[in-house]
Amino acid sequence: MSFDDDRDPRISASRRAFTRGLATLPLIGMPGLSFANAKYPTAQVNTTKLAVTDTEVTVGQLHSATGTMAISETGSIQAERLAIEQINAAGGVLGRQIKIIQEDGASDWPTFAEKSKKLLVNDRVAAVFGCWTSASRKAVLPIFEKENGMLYYPTFYEGLEQSKNVIYTGQEATQQILWGLDWVNKEKKANSFFLIGSDYIWPRTSNKIARKHIENFLKGKVVGEEYYPLGHTNFNSLINKIKVAKPDCVYAIVVGGSNVAFYKQMKAAGLTSDKQLLLTISVTEDELLGIGGENCAGFYACMKYFQSLDNPNNRKFVEAFKA
């Protein structure tokens, strides 16, 4: 989807489809939930020690409310709370209202690990909705497996992982990376690519998949590949490298707050859409609020959901989400 064309159907489809589907997540499958009645009250039959009573079930929320990833994860926090409000308004789960304990991973992977242990061991939550970056997910995974907790992971990722303790709700490589590259190659005649990413597991693994697809299947060429720390804000050297390499397409997997600096500096350097084709798999409306639409006009994003999708279900969801 082009950022300056709300109804371009060619690359529709986004990352936070989780937001639309969350209200129907199978919370009723969580361990420890039982039908409450006078003969068998929950307190007597709940052998899991999870925070489930006759009237409440407690879940955890673990996202970055602060730090460089807050620009991306705040939308998940809000969407999950909206879904829980809607579930509670409809009567809850098996007659129980959902209670939330929220923790801040603060864009720091050790903090994510510490907070996940607190939610599972101390608070005994029935499930956790959380993480965003693959680095944060990898940090908490051993804890969820050790404590046999359940994590609902709400975003796209690189694939190459499966765990009985994680529900992966987002798209993986074949549903985003390969499809987007095929589209930009066929529709925009892009054969040479400059790969850019933030320096952690998801961008590096995604670009590894992208490079193999470009070279082996599209018979194209990678003319550059660069990585920068999360929170990085000076991309002038990178932009000069792009100008020298002259790729048909910049393939950008810059994450979090760094996007604000990257796209503003691209525009300031004259690399606008009339001069440089760019495809990203890490920017949606959440990031655009910080970047500014004028700094991304004409670039493309391959996601599985956009707020601008024009259909009755989405209009109803977006209205409720914004409210």
- In this prediction, residues 268-291 reach a mean pLDDT of 93
Sign of the CA dihedral with 291 first, then 263, 286, and 299 last: positive
Q: Where exactly does CATH 3.40.50.2300 map onto the chain? A: 26-168, 173-301
pLDDT grade for 97, boundaries at 50, 70 and 90: very high
- Read off the tokens for 238: 């990178």
Q: What is the pLDDT of residue 174?
A: 83
Closest CA to 69 of 30, 124, 111: 111
pLDDT grade for 156, boundaries at 50, 70 and 90: confident
Is it true that domain 173-301 has CATH number 3.40.50.2300? yes
Third-level CATH fold of 26-168: Rossmann fold (3.40.50)
Q: What is the pLDDT of residue 25?
A: 44
pTM of the prediction? 0.78
Closest CA to 288 of 262, 260, 316, 311: 260
Q: Residue-wise over 280-313: b if at least 16 C-beta within 10 A, else e?
A: bbbbbbbbbebbeeebbeebbbbbbbbbbbeeee
Residue written as token pair 């990031």? 287
First CA to last CA across the chain, in angstroms?
Answer: 25
Q: What is the pLDDT of residue 4?
A: 46
Question: Is residue 7 scored above 50 in pLDDT?
Answer: no
